[in-house]
Amino acid sequence: MRRLVISLVSVCFLVVAAFAAAPQVATLGKCQKRKPPVVFPHKKHVDMKLDCKVCHHKYEGKGEPRSCFTCHKCEKGKAPSAKMAFHKKCVKCHKKEKKGPRRCSQCHAKK
């Protein structure tokens, strides 16, 4: 019984951890100075059946992909800046699909 309780508790932790890891919605605002942060509906994009690697381009397919911000910093370094990476990734696809926000104020929306 005790063991069952312990394993149930750890299952709960795993579930919580999985939810915490792959966000429903992520607020992209680490580098925001001039523009309001961008609300990114992660789950909605995953539900479009996009491969994780479409965005998580360094992901090997094992475990959880790492945050874009681990490599894409506010200032350009080894990797392009976060601003550059997100603008290229996000806006490019929305233009191609003719869907999703393409104007500045649609992503950088004032609350």
How many residues are recorded in the chain? 111
Q: Per CB under 6 A, does 21 bind ligand HEC?
A: yes
Block residue for tokens 């601003």: 83
Site for ligand HEC in 45-104 (CB under 6 A): 45-46, 50, 52, 54-58, 64-72, 78-80, 82-91, 93-94, 97, 99-104
Binding residues with ligand HEC: total (CB under 6 A): 60
The correct pick among 42, 43, 76, 95 for binding ligand HEC (CB under 6 A) is 42
Query: Residues interacting with ligand HEC, by CB under 6 A?
Result: 21-23, 26, 28-35, 38, 40-42, 44-46, 50, 52, 54-58, 64-72, 78-80, 82-91, 93-94, 97, 99-104, 106-108
